[in-house]
Structure 1
Amino acid sequence: MGVNDISGAAEPAEAGDASRRTILKSMGVAVAGIGAAAAVGGPLVTSLTNNEPARSVMPEAKALRIDHVTVVDPRDGSSRRDMSVLVRDGKIASVTASAKVETTADVKVVDGADRFAVPGYNNMHTHVLQEKQRSKLFMAAMLADGTTGMRQMAGSDDLLLYRRERRLPLGADTPGLHVMPGALLMPFNAPSVSRARSEISRQKDLGADFIKLIQVERDVFFDAVSWAHANGLRIAGHLPPTVSPYEASEAGFDSIEHLGTSTNIWIETSSDRSALRDKGDTPGALPNWLGYVPFSQRIFSSDIATKTMAKRLLNPALMNSQETVTITQAALDSFDEDAAVKLAETFARNSTWQTPTLVRLRTQYLADAPEYKNHPWLKMVSAEDRGAFQESRKKFMDLPAETRSTYHRYYATTLKMIKVMHDAGVPIMTGTDGPSAVPGQDLHAEFQEMAAAGLKPLDVLRSTTTNPASFLGRSGHMGAVATGMDADFLLLDANPLESVDNMTKISAIVRAGNFATFQEISATVDNLLSKAEG
């Protein structure tokens, strides 16, 4: 083949004792509680659509060899210059010196032109499959960012069925789906230990890869962790306000998302933590009695409720009470680095993974940052979503100056905590919580925020390649450009070990063995955007 040059290229008896956290006085407050509990992430998901989507077919990848590249191995930080990567049947068949390769008739040859070959990136916290209208567009944009694999963080019976039947909108022009849970574990479906166990077992039978927990009663939380593990499933998600990060880690909670989503991590890293714990009840928590109200989950997952919650979730910080803001301020005022190190060491000892989704936290607590006003991402969403976001941003800017100052410090302390955790050996992965109507939730921005926290380029590269492979138990076939690995890798125009900026300079992407230049993928994004707007 010719050589291509890419140089241009009902159980009320089990409800337990009611706590102050879960007694809300009206259904209206309960609605607000849904937003507070979901905190960060997409709307509740129970059904995708009444119409079955078409089956997706991955195109057969032709044999491919890319010559004259520097292969960067995040596992040890090494680089090998002038190498050739041979791909067959969606796998890397060999990685050899370019000078030793021989031309084979059935192999398409691409001149890598001294570019840098790195494993594909992984977004380990996304809600993209929940998008009803623009999922293909958003996934194409993710691929253009170098995302070749993803962990979907909310599922449903429908989504699990569609995956089994290969009806999810996945292909060579989207990231691959690594794992997905079933419905979020909440008071709707898990108001008691027995109901939670039943739901976890049911989700396993449907094919869920792990359990995503949002908020449940304290006794339900600890039993859910044990029951998920007993069923061979991991459990990840948010921390209920009644459970401290220490307790969650010691119980074996596998992965904490968004640093836990409430004030509890800052209470535990405060020198005044004993006093703050007594004040740390988070208002607006989901009431457990919702699990005993007939059809409550169906009501709150209706189209109207979902749309309302979607607007609230544009910035969950806007739902915080003054009490919560005051507690947060006091905790940040008394941040104790020794306490932070102790907590981080607990996470490291117990292998409590962290997917902080810094870019999502940034959009919550630095929503008045000027770059969000006319961010390029806003052109990717509908006019309705753009208007809702601008309205949300205005509400943030209208908050009292002292509140916004507290939120700014919240994010600055978040970056500090990420560095403390990294230095203690806590395993960290990249995730964005997007894409959505909120701008700035892209993987490249996440790289920048990790760098701002003090992580070196190699650390950031590992957080999106080798760390996800290790978390998934797939280090034998992902996370490196090496013989036998899945053919999901990128060609970069500059050395990613020198700067995180270079991790964003993508020249070409190989997805399941299918080669495409960045320009080709960008054209796909533009075409899908045109169709969405048409």
Structure 2
Amino acid sequence: MDDEGVDEEKLGPTRRTVLKRVGLGVLGAGAIAAVGVPVARNLTAKDPAISVVPRAAPLRIDQVTVIDPRDGSKSPGMSVIVRDGRITTVAATKDTPAGPDTWAIDGAGRFAVPGYNNMHTHVLQEERASLFMATMLAEGTTGMRQMAGTDDLLRFRAENRLPLGVHTPGLLAMPGELLMPWNAGSVQEVREEITRQKDLGADFIKLISVDREVFFEAVSWAHGQGMKIAGHLPPSVSPTEAVEAGYDSIEHFGAGSCIWIETSSDEKTLRGQQDLSGPVPGWFANLPFAGWLFSTDLVAGMAGKTLINPALSNSPQAVDLMRRALGSFDDTAAQEMLRRFAAGSTWQTPTLVRLRTQYVVDDPEYDNHPSLRMLSAKAVRDFQDARAEFMALPADTRAVYHQAYDMSLRMVKRIHDAGVPVMTGTDGPGKNPADLHTEFRELAAAGLRPLDVLRTVTTEPAAYLGRSDRMGAIAPGMDADFLLLDSDPLEDVRNLASVAAVVRAGHFLPRQEIDSLVEELLAAAR
């Protein structure tokens, strides 16, 4: 698809129309808010040291109840044997002779489940990456999909220089630089950028905000390169259009009001009233150093509290559009959207815990949320300042946001019931309280059963990544990334948080050991 012969009227806003958008206010607020977190930067001023994961000793866990998320079965009195970071045997303890070279653990009264996978995290972008990853491990996270990268991060991974190891989740996938107007301003540019990122070793493409024709070319070109593509939706592209184009994973329902517009009885009118110009001024996107400038602390500082809560940058017109879209929710339109979702192959990663800090941050829970202790003193102050600003919004504005979150919970249940695959992600850590166990709680509040929630963090990520033969279950041949829980996870979703021990790459890590490491790293960060 070339730029010549494109019907701009049908395709929506083009680079030319975006260039008409001028204003430092949009640069300082909208551009950063569209991303939600800073673009990834170097981990240090110089290349980090090479990280080596030691080989695990043979391990045997006896008398444990193995939970299989694939069918919801429970198998009590089992032994799980691990060698060289892989599960070799899962069999009844009474029928499994003990080996002389195997470290045996008594798992009586415990429940073994596959390790959890956080499929939307930005942890490698954080200064406290090691602390946050140890905290993720304590939550039971053994695998993660990093949702933003840079050329350096890709090189660091290729050279084993990322701060990964036994006491961190494994890195399942990472993209290159986010697709934005300055690196994907045209069909030709997006082809070149995707090809460049593939050559650098990116696992997938992360898209934030591009013109309509560039979006569809990005999906097509990424697939042609054998890569997945995931992320936000430009306002000119509806969720159904993205699904039917083959977009692999929609994050945060696409961001903004797109899903509420599509499920409105007045969709045509509301769509016509959207601001389709995108969050980044064209004059800025066209600068040769735009990508670098966007990643600097200067621009991040200009964004202020909108970096923490994008809702604070919404115009009165955007709030009114959301109000009218939510108020005109149409069940028939929603059913049609879900029917088309189910016919596609797009996963949904709603990141409810992130939407909650965006739309319901005035909840007393955030007065002193436990996750805040992991943030720097400045980050806590910034969060509380942004929260105070949210609480000072007009009551009717906050009511719209509360309704948006309530509708998000309802939509998760409807999406799940329609057979659309859902994955768990937090969009953290670093700027907001965003822990995995709260995400479990919110998925349950949406109406998912404990088994359904367990699948969103085990079997669904495995299927999405095409690794169901290596992860998502405790069975011979699987990677030795699994958990021991104190309580039955199929009885109550809260039991998913009862992590007694983590087996990471075959290494047995008692919860007390991980907690001690977290405290050491937290003390060092102060």
TM range (shorter): over 0.9
Distance in 2 between residues matched to 1:73 and 1:521, nearest whole Å = 25
Q: Which residue of 2 aligns with 1:85?
A: 80
Structure 1 position 265 matched with structure 2 position 236? no
**Contact 1:44–1:306, Cα closer than 8 Å, also in 2:** no
Superposed CA deviations along residues 287-326 of structure 1, whole A, max 9, x for unmatched, are: 3443421211112212322344474211000000000000
* Matched residue SS, 2:110: strand
Where does residue 45 of structure 1 map in the other structure?
A: 40
Query: For residues 218 and 161 of structure 2, what CA distance do their matches in structure 1 show?
Result: 30
Q: Identity of counterpart residues, as a percentage? A: 58
Is residue 457 of structure 2 the alignment partner of residue 464 of structure 1?
Answer: yes
- 1:221 pairs, out of 193, 215, 225, with 215
Secondary structure of the residue aligned to 1:521 is: helix
Question: Are 2:441 and 1:448 equivalent residues in the alignment?
Answer: yes
Contact 2:33–2:306 (Cα < 8 Å) also in 1: no
Partner of 2:54, secondary structure, is coil
Q: Counterpart in 2 of 1:27?
A: 24
**How far, CA to CA, are the matches of 1:511 and 1:200 in structure 2?**
33
CA contact (8 A) 2:33 2:309 kept: no
Q: Which residue of 2 aligns with 1:475?
A: 468
Shift of 1:18: 5.4
Deviation at 1:271, TM superposition (A): 1.0
Q: Is the 8 A contact 1:191 1:289 kept in 2?
A: no
CA contact (8 A) 2:137 2:168 kept: yes
Structure 2 match to 1:5: none
Q: Deviations over 1:417-467 (max 9, x none)?
A: 11110110000000000111211x111111111101111111100000000
Q: What SS does the corresponding residue of 1:67 show, helix, strand or coil?
A: strand
User: Are residues 1:492 and 2:489 paired?
Assistant: no
Deviation at 1:17? Answer: 4.6
Counterpart among 45, 59, 70 of residue 75 in structure 1: 70
Name whichever of 155-164 and 15-24 sits farther off: 15-24
CA separation in 2, counterparts of 1:12 and 1:50?
40
What is the aligned partner in structure 2 of residue 504 from structure 1? 497
Deviates more, 1:102-111 or 1:43-52: 43-52
Letter of the aligned partner of 2:134 in structure 1?
A
Distance 1:532 1:36 in 2: 27
Residues 91 and 486 in structure 1, CA contact (< 8 A), matched pair in contact too: yes
Once the two structures are overlaid, the 10-residue window that deviates more, 272-281 or 260-269, is 272-281
Is the aligned partner of 1:105 residue 2:106? no
Of 297, 322, 337, which residue of structure 2 is paired with 1:328? Answer: 322
2:14 and 2:211 in contact (8 A); partners too? no
Q: Aligned partners of 1:465, 1:325: CA distance in 2, in Å?
A: 36
Contact 2:148–2:206 (CA under 8 A) maintained in structure 1: yes
CA drift at 1:29: 2.3
- CA deviations on 1:219-263 (whole Å, 9 max, x unpaired) are 111111100011111100000001111111111111100000011
**Alignment check: 8 A CA contact 1:214 1:240 kept:** yes
Take 1:354 and 1:45, find their aligned partners in 2: how far apart are those partners? 23
In structure 2, what is the equivalent of residue 187 of structure 1? Answer: 181
State the distance in 1 between where 2:115 and 2:19 align: 43
- TM-score, length basis structure 1: 0.94
Q: What is the aligned length? A: 519
Q: Secondary structure at the match of 2:476?
A: coil
Paired position in structure 2 for 1:147:
141
From 28, 52, 60, the equivalent of 1:65 is 60
Pairing 1:438–2:432 present = yes
- 1:346 paired to 2:333: no
User: What secondary structure, in the 3-state scheme, does the structure 2 residue paired with 1:297 have?
Assistant: helix
Aligned-partner residue type, residue 64 of structure 1: L
Pick one of 353, 357, 370 that aligns with 2:351: 357
Tell me, in whole angstroms, the C-alpha distance in 1 between the residues paired with 2:28 and 2:3.
21
Q: Secondary structure at the match of 1:236?
A: strand
What secondary structure does 1:519 align onto?
helix
Task: Report 1:253-292 matches (<5 A).
Answer: 253-281=247-275, 285-292=279-286
Unaligned runs of 5+ in 2: none
**Which residue identity does 1:500 align to in structure 2?**
V
SS at match of 2:326: helix
What whole-Å deviation, never above 9, does each CA across 1:478-515 have from its counterpart, x for those lacking one? 00011110000000111111110111111111000000
Query: After superposition, where does 1:373-412 map in structure 2 within 5 Å?
Result: 373-412=367-406
Normalising by the residue count of structure 2, what TM-score does the alignment of the two structures yield? 0.96
**Letter matched to residue 271 of structure 1:** S
Matched with 1:367 is 361
Equivalent position SS for 1:142: helix
Name the SS of the counterpart of 1:114 in structure 2.
Answer: coil
Q: CA deviation at 1:282?
A: 5.3
Partner of 2:236: 242
Shift of 1:33: 2.6
Is 1:427 aligned to residue 421 of structure 2? yes
Which portions of structure 1, spanning 4 or more consecutive aligned residues, are displaced by more than 4 angstroms? 11-22
For residues 386 and 46 of structure 1, do their structure 2 counterparts lie closer, same or farther at Cα, with a shift above 3 Å needed? closer
CA displacement at 1:284 relative to structure 2: 6.0
Q: Amino acid of the residue matched to residue 174 of structure 1?
A: T
What are the Cα deviations for residues 31-64 of structure 1, in whole angstroms up to 9, with x where unaligned? Answer: 32312422x3x21235443311011111210000
Structure 2 CA distance for aligned equivalents of residues 137 and 483 of structure 1: 32
Contact 1:214 1:238 in 2 (8 A): yes
Q: Deviations over 1:59-106 (max 9, x none)?
A: 210000000100000001111110000000000010111112222221
Question: Secondary structure in 2 aligned to 1:83?
Answer: strand
Match of 1:6 in 2: none
Contact 2:41 2:125 in 1 (8 A): no
How big is the shift at 1:283? 6.9
Conservation of the 8 A alpha-carbon contact between 1:238 and 1:258: yes
SS at match of 1:281: coil
Partner Cα separation in structure 1 for residue 500 and residue 230 of structure 2: 34
Segment drifting more, 61-70 vs 45-54: 45-54
Distance in structure 2 (CA, Å) of the matches to 1:177 and 1:452: 29
User: Secondary structure of the residue that 1:433 maps to in structure 2?
Assistant: coil
Shift of 1:352: 1.1
Amino acid at match of 1:111: D
* TM-superposed deviation, 1:21: 6.2
**Separation of aligned partners in 2, 1:254 and 1:284:** 22
Asked whether the equivalents of residues 345 and 426 of structure 1 are also in contact (C-alpha less than 8 Å), the reply is no
Equivalent residue letter for 1:129: L
Residues of 1 paired with 2:274 and 2:366: CA distance?
Answer: 31
AA in 1 matched with 2:332: D
Within 2, Cα distance between the matches of 1:25 and 1:183? 24
Query: How far apart are the structure 1 equivalents of 2:303 and 2:513?
Result: 36
Within 2, Cα distance between the matches of 1:212 and 1:380?
27
CA shift in 2, pair 1:240/1:22, >3 Å = farther
SS in 2 for 1:177: strand
Distance 1:75 1:305 in 2: 46
Q: Which amino acid letter does the alignment assign opposite residue 102 of structure 1?
A: P
The CA RMSD over aligned residues, in Å, is 1.8
CA distance in 1, matches of 2:225, 2:498: 42
Letter of the 1:116 partner, please give it: F
Deviation of 1:113 (Å): 1.7
